[in-house]
Structure 1
Amino acid sequence: MRCRVIVLEKGQFIAMEDGFVRNLEELWNKKQLKQALPCDWELQARAIRLLSSSQGSTMDPFIHMYQLETADRQHLISAVKGLQKKDRYQEAAHLAKKMHLQPYLNFRELCTPLLLQDKLNVVEGYVSNSPELQQELVRLLDSWCHPDFNLGNLLQQYPGLQQVKHERMHPKSLSKFVTRLLDTYKIDSELCPNVKQYRALGAMKFLFYQKYGEKAMDDENWNDHISVAVGNNPWLQEQLVMMLCSYRDVTAAARWARRLKMPHDRLPSAVLWILSNQRQEDGSEEEESAMAYSSREDCYQLPVPLDQVIFIDNLADLEMHLPAMLQPGCTLGVDMEWRPSFGVLSQPRVALVQVARRDRVLLLDLPRLSEEEEEESGRQPGQRRLARATNVEPRAHDETAQLQASCSGRCEAKNSVAEEGRLLGLMRRLFSSGDVLKLGYDVGGDIQYLLTSYPMLKPALQQSSRVLDIAVLQKQVERLLSAQPVAGGSGAEVARGATATRTTEERGLSLLVLQTLGKALDKRQQLSEWERRPLTTAQLLYAASDAYCLLEVYDGLLQKAKAAKLSVNLEKCMVGKKVQKPRHSDPAPDDERLWKKIGTEVPATLPAANLTRPPESCSREPMSVRNFAVVCDSMLQGLGRYLRCLGVDVHILENIEEHRKAAEIARAERRVILTCGLPYQTLRSQVGEDCCYFVDCKEKAKDQAKAVLRHFNVQVTPSDIFSRCKVCNGNRYMKISGADMARVAVTRRELLRATAGQDDPEPGYGVVLGDDLADEAQGCVEPGGVRWSPTVAPTQDFAGKSWRGVVALPGPEKTMSRASESWSSRTPRYYPACFVDNQELDANTASFADGTALLAEAIPPGVLETVQLFYCCVTCGKVFWEGSHFSRILSQFADVLSTESDTSTFYES
């Protein structure tokens, strides 16, 4: 019974020694100790009291040893609430889940602090087995997306809460999380009206940008999409009018206010004035919408007459027209259209499938055709399902049908089509016919979206055959042309020059049509409402042209290859062709696994060259890291920081910035976009394939950085490492000796104490650094925390603490001594441009000439006493010093470092 006394009387010792409890649990698992420790209610009650003072890691052993699952529920609830009072919400949630106490606790009181600390996995685990709590979680997050939500008022309810992630409370981040929860828990989107409203507002902003910024949408399409986005929401209607006024289109604002019948007390005065003076313009919008479509002569024109563009919305017409398109030896252009989602919660389905032959174009109304198929199967149960239930093959007793099937292969095909459904059978013939070549641009992405929209078509898509991606063919032809020497420079230089003159205006297929046929596609109808019936003449012409132009582009590319006497391998451009994987390959990402499920290869629309590691011998010309600039989207912040460590100029998008911001930055600053997932398709179409790289999100950030460097053949030398600040991307540093830095640190702390009115700024004031790059952050100070260099032994008072830098107050002028620049433990062999030689530091304000504060207070005294030279980022004021991180980066990236020209390092200067 001695162990019993140790466990219950030495609770504080247990709280400090996790290993002791683990060893005790191992002893308890022996039968003798189990019998010596009977779990009566008094013993359980005393064990429960110890939970509130023990470490979270000792909770499971306590529960196991003392069989707390059988303890009194009120004692357990009291223990959970005790943990909540001590701001130990994670342990409280863990204990409540283990003891199944969720129905007896206030969900919002327990989980709100966890959400504020961005501990989403803990909350998801808490609600994992309760549909009611899952819905409550969605409601809570949705309430935080309300326009009137005030985060400050919520934080006042938790004054002692630390490590609050303010950036995660932005509606953009919350809406993404809610969208994922809706899909995971299969919850109706009607439960989150605020998220839907925020997404609709984002769609409105995009539509305004398309119309007033890019001028890429006509009034008719824009009005259709705005009507869908606004709906009957009064708040969105008011935002619409205000946004129109901000774009100085007050007349349109008045027209929309009249159409939506908005109350006059919610309208700006300028709109009221127009409404009172122009009451006779009610029909102006209808007249404007009814204007005849005028095609642009400078754009590609459909060669076939409009009466040969056949719109098919019933299965009978499809059976009549489609077989004529599938004659052996025919070449077809295939394209698809769907209503743009603009980020709303509901994902639109494929609304139109275009199939073009040399003399006609079929437009398949797939929503209506699928509905008719379902209606037929509903009215006629069919022999097939009955036969499947009785294990009897349909038509088995129909001797006449058997005789016909044995005599005619065509009748057998018809029977199989009838059994599986007319639409599925016809689509199978379209995609699986080996006698017909199907052309598409990024057709793999279209087929993937078609599969998502209509899972019933999966058998047809599984057997796809002879589907050629024009985008892959274009890339192959351009690669072969670039390998040929031409007058006036290499083929690669000529190809890049021809493309660069026009990539600023046209993208994707439109650019290819321009380069091949001399005229670009008219893309004004691309973002139109494709589920509207009937389609407008402009939509019919655009849809038919989008598919038909593939035939002419295909001919043009082959003629170009033939004129240059190039041998083109069309089999490599086929989507349905099985690819032979290398012997050593990385795990397939999600997109690759998806295509494995439907039985085809990775589509060309996904950058298959990026899915496996690029070969060591890159065809690109070597590029210095100083000439390489990228923009990373918000999903690849870890990759961006690694590249900064290697000296790459990296612009990292904030979590609240839209993906289209990356395209704007790339075009303005001539950067390469690094992205992953679905945004790749959109961004590549805006900047071109050479300026957009698909990153494998399944790899670690370190491996992603290596893949990027190999793909673009970027040469990194040891002198490039740490030449940029991985916090702010700055590339200018100042050297300061340890003695000077100690004086600056004293000045900074005095200024902070005077500013905050405290006796002394306490260590740990601020937010602890996250774990995103914690494993390689040693030897440097980062915003929100300090990672200790293993070469430095921090004092006990500061071990494990975190610091935060605050902007300093201005003071009298006094310059720092130049001794810092002359000090060095090594003899400098060169003086890189990243070190400033004329930047002065004001010692009284501890700030640079431009007002940037030097965050010297973040350096622990133990480091100040040991390190003799510090490196200060002039851009953001962060302080770095040499530690083991440099050698670790050298070893981690040794296979991509170039040491031929220079073996010097950042510190040897």
Structure 2
Amino acid sequence: MLQSKSKSDSNPNGFRSGFETHWVSTAESDDGLSLLRWALRHSSVVGLDAEWKPVRSPNPASSFPPVSILQIACRVSDPQLSPDSAGSGKGSLVFLLDLQSIPLPSIWEMLRDMFVSPNVLKLGFKFKQDLIYLSSTFRSNGCDLGLEKVEPFLDITSIYHYLHNRGKKLPKDTKSLAAVCEEVLGVSLSKELQCSDWSCRPLTEAQKSYAAADAYCLLEIFTIFQRRFSKEGTFPYKVTESNSSNATLGLKQILEKSDICENILRHKFCEASDMIKSIDCGNHPRNQIVLGPTSFRTTFLLDDSLSKIIKKYGERILLKESDRKPMISKRKGKRRSSLSSNCNKCKENDSAWRGPPPWDSSFDGDGCPKFLCDVMVEGLAKHLRCVGIDAATPSSKRPEPRQLLEQARKEKRVLLTRDAKLLKHQYLISNQVYQVKNLLKNDQLLEVIETFQLKISEDMLMSRCTKCNGRFIQKPLTTEEAIAAGKGFQVIPQCLYDRNIEFWQCTDCNQLYWEGTQYHNAVEKFINVCKLNE
């Protein structure tokens, strides 16, 4: 079964460039796999990612977790295809392969050939772990050889650090994909659903969108990198007849060009069946397509720009025999098996909140709730600030557990986390660590409100700076005062000059806010989330 979605439905993460998401869940109807084969034959760059059910308490003797979803984002580009025959000939398609439903032997050969094809550059983010799990999944489903190699390959982390460190040794502190996406594309990539149960069916539309965005952002990041290679003279780049002048532009540069912006944003691919029917081997003199259930070959060679990138920065992922076996912890294995029931009871007891909180008057507190949110619940910190609750984040970027606990103790805060390991430090800071159980930020907010019996009113909404947790000035600023206050670090949009609105400034970081559309939407959202209108 093949399901297609429009770009407006599949771009919730802020991407403005067009792409379509296709859910392929069975091989009985060949439309989905045929479209995938077509896209791979006409793609010189693909982004790869995989999702599986998170293992909460892994059994050392068990095998790797089976992969539930394989995401393949294809940057389609073939100058011999006319706009009338296959969309516009250029664009992006994201395929979500349901490995729980598709017979894996039917796609193994196609994926294996694509993974090692010299004419397809594969992109990934720390993809070796994904490949290990993928190979194990295919071997356990009748494909004895699994998927052992990916070449040529480019890791987004490696090339990102190369560009920023000019070839110096990679730092140990590597950025997350969300951080790279935010910095390079200016797009906030939500990771709320990363640890959701990917084995449950049906998947929600939010899960599908999350999975598609994770693979598609690799294409967008690489496009920005490719543009910078050309601009900074990393290698001589010449635009050939087979390349549009805009083929290597980054997302931000594309959107700045008025003559092509409208076409990009309004671009739509035709239906899958029409696209497949448009493939005519006789019209392509260079075609090497062998139509069949599993065959895969590209229709063209890599252009000069990609060839030189691969030659200079290309990598190879090759699994070893040791990668086939899960690592067994010798130190903890026996103890876990013998004390599993006791440990589970301890975790349940430790994760439950036992009041009163440190801001209570019995501890000489001021009665104002204060929290410290670690890196695993940073999104929750912003939500708490939006409803007027004091929610700080760690003072250092990668704090040790004892540093977190010391900051919470000094500032009389409750430490919020999803890391169960922090609970074992409870003896250092009695009754000041709470393990958040929900995954989604809205649910986490409600959980904290109910657990600590917080009183939220409509007057408290948007009363704190979401950037630094600071308070706002007591008296609002006029437009002229706001322009003067933001001079040098924040620009006030000209469309606000003639509007009679009030501006507010954070007393800590000086960030300016105003009661515009985003403000009213946020207020309405948290009224509903906190159920203030009931």
TM-score bin, normalised by smaller chain: 0.3 to 0.5
Larger Rg: 1
User: Which structure would you say has the larger RCO, counting Cα contacts within 8 Å and 6 or more residues apart?
Assistant: 2
TM-score, scaled to structure 1: 0.24
TM-score, scaled to structure 2: 0.38
